[in-house]
Amino acid sequence: MCKSKLTFVFTVVVAAAFLVGCVKNYKIIHDLEAPLQDMASCTIGAVTDELPLDFEEDKKPPLEDIEKFKRYLSEEIMKTGILSMSETGDSAARYEVRGGILEYKKGSGTLRVLLGAFAGNAYVAVNLKLLDRTDQLVVFSGSFKGAVTHYAESGDAMFRQVARDFAKALSKRAKKLRKK
Amino acid sequence: MKSHGFAALAIGLIALTAVTLAAQPEKGTIITKSGQKYEEVLYQVDFSYKLITVILDEEKKKNISFTQIEAIIREDGTDITAEVLKGYYKPADKEAGKPAADTSQVTDTTALVPTRQPVVPVVDSAEVPPTGRPAPAKRPLETWKSKDDEIYRRARILRWNASFGLTGNYSIPSGKYYEGVDPAVGFGVAMRLAVSHNLAIGIDISRPGYDFGEDLEGYDPETGMLAVMEVGLSTMRYTILAEYYRMTSREGSNLNMTYFYTGLGAIKHKTDWTIVEYDELNQRHLVDKGATNESKFITIFGLGARFTFDKNVGVDIGADLFVVFLGKTRATEQDFPVEVYQHAANIDLRCGLIIFLSE
């Protein structure tokens, strides 16, 4: 392959990687309108099944994955430093994160290894909301997507990605409002 | 390079047009579960994020999750909620407040197991009716099942573990490398091991019945005798492969499936040649003979379908493409040697018997 062709391919790959990196994997449904109470306690509530009615039972995410997802949410929100996380189900917490799984594909790690990208990919779409428990109102919500296409990543990585995006989006908005 | 640029531009424009057309907003009335009504508004459905974007004015847009949609009414008054939300349209949600139906006549108890938890009565603060605060939300139930649950345990059991196949194939050689070789009927054996519900690994060994056709004949200018060159070709292909398969039904006794696979391996060509001459008395004289062996790297891409007519026995129909990598092969063109990088191909049409082994 001649040098100019290599340069062209390299440029396309870099441009594609840049574009993919810039794409947000979420859409905000209800943005935070007032600052959060500083370092108020927050707990992770229920993550419910909002999958389509015809979704097969044995293809739904198992309890263990949901528990992991809740742990990731707790860890990622904790990292942002905007809220203090308390135990799951803590009734005294001021805020609560609730979710609903809208779409899920478990994927296959073996397929990703053997057949490469896009084979055996896993993805999830989750509706996440932050509730102010004092009045049971949603103060922040959005639809978040996570996917795993790389052979070296496990299927859990998509839940981690969703948790990270949620925490980042929330903290970004909370910090912006605090500055005002 | 220019042609690449134009091709990329053309693909980009086609994709952009398709995306633009697909994203054209519709007009209608959106009613949310909290009672908010957006009358005669433009909206766009985003199936990727499972939400509807209501365009309130040029700058103001509102995203509403599928789970919060009560109804979507077209301009002509038609309720298109089910059509738009597809599987996310849950008419049962509307019935959630009503008493449960009489199930005394139902004998299948599995039908009574609720598959969905109640709708979370959480209200978006932007949609609170001005008349008062919403009632405190009831804590929803989570119905996720553990990995050890029966439904997952059953789902993990593979419907077949291994398969053995015997196929007949009609092989068509293609490319300069196979010049003079005729398409022929051969046979092959195949073995597969199921790794998961969609993945198997396997080995294929096949023998295409390639031949050079009729023997070459001519007269020896020195002796004047009829010289015949008999050439025989024997080819074997060995491949290991990964197969993606999809059963046509999740349950039932049949193992009907479609599949595609890809793999790599080697093709071995053995050529035997004998030159004989026939004198006036038609007596055969051996002039020369020899044999050559040549092995090449191959890749295989195959697809097909399997249908079982008995519990574990079925037919396998498909096609394979073998790409033969020849490396830098020296060839001549008008008596001048030229070095060319060559690929050749074998296309196989297959049909055979397959036996499945399962626990």
Sequence-ordered list of residues with C-beta below 8 angstroms from that of B107, at least 6 positions apart, any chain: none
| ipTM field | 0.83
Instruction: Using CA atoms of B94, B96, B102, B104 in order, give the dihedral in degrees to the nearest 10.
Output: 130
| Cα B72 to Cα B89: distance, rounded to the nearest angstrom | 11
Q: Is the pLDDT of residue B139 over 70?
A: no
Interface of B with A in 157-186 (CB under 8 A): none
Q: What number is the average pLDDT over the span A39-66?
A: 92
Q: Report angle CA B115, A108, A141 to the nearest 5 degrees.
A: 55
pTM above threshold 0.80 = no
More confident call, A11 vs B119: A11
Helix or strand (DSSP H, E) at B6:
helix B2-22
- Every domain of chain A and the residues it spans: 26-179
More confident call, B14 vs B88: B88
- What pLDDT is stored for residue B221 in this prediction? 80
Contact A129 B122 (CB under 8 A): yes
Residue to mutate among A124, A129, A143, with most B CBs inside 10 A, is: A143
Of B137, B144, B151, the CB nearest to A136: B137
pLDDT class of B109 with cuts at 50, 70, 90? very low
- What pLDDT is stored for residue A45 in this prediction? 92
Contact A114 B48 (CB under 8 A): no
Residue to mutate among B16, B67, B115, B122, with most A CBs inside 10 A, is: B122
Contact A145 B133 (CB under 8 A): no
Check residue B178 and report its DSSP letter. Answer: G
Tens-place pLDDT, residues B236-273 = 999 999 999 999 887 777 899 999 999 999 999 998 88
Q: Is the pLDDT of residue B330 over 70?
A: no
B126: Cα separation from own chain's centroid: 45
pLDDT class of B140 with cuts at 50, 70, 90? low
More confident call, B339 vs A172: A172
- What pLDDT is stored for residue A116 in this prediction? 66
For chain B, give the mean pLDDT.
Answer: 80
Contact B88 A108 (CB under 8 A): no
pLDDT exceeding 90 applies to what percent of chain B? 42
More confident call, A5 vs A179: A179
Q: What number is the average pLDDT over the span A142-164?
A: 87
Interface of A with B in 116-175 (CB under 8 A): 119-120, 125, 127, 129, 131-132, 135-139, 141-143, 145
Q: What is each CA distance from A71 to A47, A64, A159, in whole angstroms? A: 12, 11, 10
Tens-place pLDDT, residues B142-197 = 889 998 999 888 888 888 999 999 999 999 999 888 888 889 999 999 999 998 88
Sequence-ordered list of residues with C-beta below 8 angstroms from that of A126, at least 6 positions apart, any chain: A47, A69, A99, A100, A101, A102, A143, A144, A145, A146, A162
Tens-place pLDDT, residues B92-104 = 555 444 333 333 3
The structure tokens listed for B148 are 């050890």
Rounded to a whole number of angstroms, the distance from the CA of B122 to the nearest CA of chain A is 7
Q: Report angle CA B86, B89, B95 to the nearest 5 degrees.
A: 155
Contact B145 A63 (CB under 8 A): yes
In B, minimum Cα distance to A97 occurs at B122
Contact B51 A27 (CB under 8 A): yes
The structure tokens listed for B48 are 């990727």
Looking at domain A26-179, its CATH class is alpha beta
- What pLDDT is stored for residue B45 in this prediction? 92
Contact A49 B125 (CB under 8 A): no
Interface residue A24 vs chain B (CB under 8 A):
no
Interface residue B249 vs chain A (CB under 8 A):
no
- What pLDDT is stored for residue A20 in this prediction? 58
| Cα A27 to Cα A128: distance, rounded to the nearest angstrom | 11
Q: Is the pLDDT of residue B303 over 90?
A: yes
Residue to mutate among B49, B143, B152, with most A CBs inside 10 A, is: B49
